[in-house]
Chain A
Amino acid sequence: MFRSKKEFTAAFLSLLPTFIAILIFVYGFILWTIRVSFSAWVGVMPNFTFTWFSNYADIFTSERFQIDLWNTFFFTIFFLSICVAGGLLLAIFLDRKLKGKSLFRNIFLFPMAVSFVVTGVAWRWIFNPGMAGSPTGINLILSQTGLSGLEWGWFTQPAQFLHFHVALIPVVIAAAWQLTGYTMAMYLAGLSGIPLEIKEAARMDGASEIQIYRRVILPMLAPITLSVLIILVHISLKIFDLVYTMTGSGPGFATDVPGINMFEKTFRGNRYGEGAAISVVMFILMALIIIPYLLHSLRREKK
């Protein structure tokens, strides 16, 4: 691999600082968090008394954490579907030599440039329901256009169906608004990588446009879809800032997510043990998704 010993030393030395930093600040602290999650640490001063799984027992029996897991589940499903379907659709439209294509591409991609905090605050204003008789935001538009029957509480609505809190809908919309443009950009790149010859060959064989998309283009976009899904899932599992600024925990934890729960348990309640346990659960959820993906891409690299 290396032409000389000297070259090896050079590479080794230049990688060493990063390697050490990652070892300490990433892997070291992961281990430390796991250790804290087994401790009885309540209060601001560290207490490493072993309590084994009692923090985990506490969080899994707490109603709040159960709601968090359901919320994460539904948020992920809806957020992913909207981003993937919406992004793909936009990409296909833009790929069809539309006039002003680059203008639209930039408009759709622009929300990505905004921080989640800004998105959260802006969408909070938009969906703030106001009061009966003095609606604000979307409700104001609805009442001004004679659609006052559609006004409702948005993220202040505590209702739920089979563990799905309707208050999550505005949050999903805000998150999807921000990241659909990103999936679109990914798909656009994928579409431009598909050689024209393949499409033409399919057309020669008498395939209709829809058939070309279904049988030729979509399968060729599969690797893109996989990357998109992985990136979006990891955003969705650890989402914090958007929800925190937009709705907070919401009525009856309708929009609570593990990230917010962890933050409040740790830094407001000084319940470091339980906070660490929540982080570890989030970490495991994430690992269940990321590790198979890494293995998959490693295997592909070897080939």
Chain B
Amino acid sequence: MKKVLPVFSLTAVLAVVLIALTSCGKTAENKLEIFTWWTAGGEADGLQAMVQVFSNENPGIEFVNAAVAGGAGQNAKAVLATRMQGGNPPDSFQVHAGHELIDSWVVAGKMEPIDFIFTNQMDKFPKGVLDIISYKGHIFSVPVDIHRANVMWYNKKVFAENKLKVPATWDEFFAVADKLKAKGIAPLAIGDNGIWASTMVFETVLIAKLGPDGYRGLWTGQTAWDSDGVKDAIKTFVKVLGYINDNHNALSWDQAAQLVADGKCAMTIMGDWAEGYFTSKGLKPNVDYGWAIAPGNKGSYEMLSDSFGLPIGAAHRANAIKWLQLCASKEGQEAFNPKKGSISSRNDCNRSLFDIYLQSAMDDFNKDNILPSLAHGAAASESWLTMCNDVMTLLVTDKDVEKADAGFVDAAKKSLKM
């Protein structure tokens, strides 16, 4: 025993050293390592289609998807942060276009500007989108898809049976909601477990009350958070809370959409991925479910987008650029978006590939005022967003307008000074 112990511990130490040494040796293979959280459903199919196009064009490059599954990519973000901080970035990664990319990575000097991808095709992308993906005059990511956040989905049968008109303003909404409530139908379905679904409804109220420019100004400091417009929006939102399903905080957004599908609730305000949910349940657009722009949001296209960027120090930079070119191309976007259930960020894609809702979204996208969504990383940094979500969590329960406004003011003050 006496001799065995030191021998054993020495071997253990040696083993650790050996493992550490072997993992240092990096092999330069012809790979492309992409980091995305598209791992299930339509988005995984869309990614697969795009990868197929990529492999056809670039035979010999091995495509590696370092995906981490999980909702809006919360797990993926933590893993990505570790790799970026450790100086071991993937060749390209999925990130919400806008401040989620800019405030996290661009400001920190971790991303390469990619204006060259857009040379000769700037006119194919709406200016509102280019503004969102740019920082100090340079473009930093390629938006692959565009989702719309300010859409109101409703049950056609419920509206027909009760002879109601789909509300176009918040005043009309309350009139319709009173009638529905009298019939025992919860007017608006919200599934705000994890709070962001409520944040999305609040965004649409902000847009309705402040107008597109006023809303945009909230994120640049031009619109004051203690203005009457914001207070009015908070009050209206609190009033809306009187017309929602009582179990909202136990549900996720898709369970709320199901309440609308079942006719237990009449409407829900949710991004247009809800359409994918309805069709997956066998419901027919314009027969079972209908859609309208959220009350008071006509002329505003509140968008969010998944995009890819180019981290500085990517191991296979040339391959990453090929990938980004594909993401920006008509071919790539046409392969991806119909499957994902989103529209393209380019304005020249083939309409006939998209379904009837997406075609109407494409029309609006080309003429509307394009606004960034808060809840999905486009409008503000993640730090600001989580502070707003904390304020929302308390507001939804205690309905204290003044306190919520003070919370928003504080969050803006902390975030804008940076």
Contacts and interface: CB of A to CB of B under 8 A. Distances in A.
Contacts of B5: 10-11, 13-14
B84 A44 contact: yes
Contacts of B250: 128-129, 153, 155-156
A265 B381 CA distance: 13
A43 B381 contact: yes
B103 A43 contact: yes
Interface stretch (A77-85, A179-187, A207-215, A267-275): A267-275
B2 interface: yes
A109 to B, nearest CB: 31
Contacts of A100: none
Given A46-B85, A252-B396, A253-B393, A131 B264 contact: yes
Given A13-B5, A63-B394, A249-B393, A43 B108 contact: yes
Interface stretch (B74-82, B199-207, B222-230, B323-331): B74-82
B321 interface: no
Given A43-B381, A156-B249, A252 B85 contact: no
A58 to B, nearest CB: 9
Given A46-B85, A128-B250, A131-B264, A270 B193 contact: no
Interface stretch (B7-15, B62-70, B125-133): B7-15
Given A45-B110, A250-B249, A64 B383 contact: no
A13 B6 contact: yes
Contacts of A14: 5-6, 8-9
Interface in A235-252: 248-252
Interface in B49-93: 74, 77-78, 81, 84-85
Contacts of B16: 17
Contacts, number: 106
B107 A43 contact: yes
A99 B74 CA distance: 51
A63 B250 CA distance: 22
A16 B246 CA distance: 59
A132 interface: yes
B85 A17 contact: no
Nearest to B386: A269
Interface in B355-384: 381-383
Contact of B12 (A17, A43, A64, A156): A17
B398 interface: yes
Nearest to A10: B5
Contacts of A248: 193-194
Interface in A32-67: 42-46, 62-64
Contacts of A43: 103-104, 107-108, 381, 383, 418
A102 interface: no
A9 B107 CA distance: 53
Contacts of A16: 9
B195 interface: yes
B245 A10 contact: no
A10 B74 contact: no
Contact of B105 (A17, A44, A269): A44
Contacts of B264: 131, 133-134
Given A45-B85, A45-B110, A270-B382, A6 B194 contact: no
Given A17-B13, A43-B103, A252 B246 contact: no
Interface string A253-271: 1100000000011011111
A155 B397 CA distance: 13
A296 to B, nearest CB: 33
Given A7-B2, A43-B107, A269-B383, A252 B398 contact: yes
B180 interface: no
A6 B6 CA distance: 10
Interface string A281-295: 000000000000000
A86 interface: no
B64 to A, nearest CB: 23
A190 interface: no
A249 B195 contact: yes
A246 to B, nearest CB: 11
A3 B10 CA distance: 22
Contacts of B396: 251-252
B304 interface: no
Interface in B243-284: 245-247, 249-250, 259, 264
A13 B194 contact: no
A64 B411 CA distance: 14
A43 B85 CA distance: 11
A268 B9 contact: no
A132 B383 contact: no
B385 A269 contact: yes
Interface in A9-24: 9-11, 13-14, 16-17
A45 B259 CA distance: 42
Nearest to B387: A269
B247 A267 contact: no
Query: A11, A46, A131, A249 — which one has the most chain B CB atoms within 10 A of its CB?
Result: A131
A65 B319 CA distance: 46
Contacts of B232: none
A42 B397 CA distance: 28
A267 B72 CA distance: 13
26 contacts: A7-B2, A14-B6, A16-B9, A17-B13, A42-B383, A42-B418, A45-B108, A62-B390, A64-B394, A128-B250, A131-B245, A131-B259, A133-B264, A155-B250, A156-B247, A156-B249, A156-B250, A252-B394, A252-B397, A267-B78, A267-B81, A268-B77, A269-B382, A270-B104, A270-B381, A271-B386
The 10 closest A-B pairs by CB, nearest first: A252-B397, A269-B386, A45-B108, A158-B397, A14-B9, A251-B249, A10-B5, A156-B250, A267-B78, A269-B383
Given A156-B249, A267-B77, 18 more contacts: A11-B5, A13-B9, A17-B12, A17-B13, A43-B107, A45-B110, A128-B250, A252-B398, A264-B386, A267-B74, A267-B78, A268-B77, A268-B386, A269-B385, A269-B387, A270-B81, A270-B382, A271-B383
